[in-house]
Amino acid sequence: MLGFAYKRLLETEFKQDVDFRDSGNTIYYKNNKTWVFSQADSCDSCHLEDILMLPNAAYMSAVYLQQQQKLSKVASKILDLLLLLLGESPLRAVTQGGVSFESYPDPLITLMNSNLTTLLLTILGLPDTLPNIPAMGYFPLYNHTCDEDYVIKTGKDNTD
């Protein structure tokens, strides 16, 4: 991703859920941040729509699970067939925008988050807990999110 530049613009950062507490001596808030692609600071040929070939984390995780869980031959073949039918492969073509903050669709993740997953896990004899992965990417759906809660002193009680 060399050549792509993102900026956190101060004018897009805003305080959320502001609440004065302790008779106005402290203030609670969340800091909502937005990252914006900066074409001006990126290389001339770098665009959010650029297609990148990246390792497919969902596929790699499924293969790792297959090896670590010591699946039966039948369960292993079912997982292989499932990955094939879903179009999963070791590499995935995704846009720069998708891999950074926007997220990108992945059929295995969609299946993991579906109601069919419980049935598949039961049939394959896999543990019934899967990681919560709502979206794929390095910082998926991170824009317009809060990093943490803040409680700071207002200085109202310090008249010195």
- This prediction has a pTM of 0.66
Amino acid at 18: V
Residue 77 sits at φ, ψ, to 5 deg, of -65, -40
Q: DSSP secondary structure string, 87-137?
A: T--SEEEEEHHIIIII-B--HHHHHHTSTHHHHHHHHHT--S------SBS
Radius of gyration of the chain (CA): 22
Packed helices 116-124 and 73-86: angle between N→C axes, nearest 10 degrees: 150
Cα–Cα distance measured from residue 73 to residue 77, given in angstroms and rounded to the nearest whole number: 6
Would you give per-residue pLDDT tens digits along the chain (160 residues)? 457 766 643 346 788 899 999 999 999 999 888 777 878 888 888 888 999 999 999 999 999 988 888 888 998 998 899 999 999 999 999 999 899 888 999 999 998 888 888 787 778 777 666 777 888 988 888 777 787 888 998 888 876 6
Angstrom distance (rounded) from CA 100 to CA 86 = 23
H or E element: which one contains 80?
Answer: helix 73-86
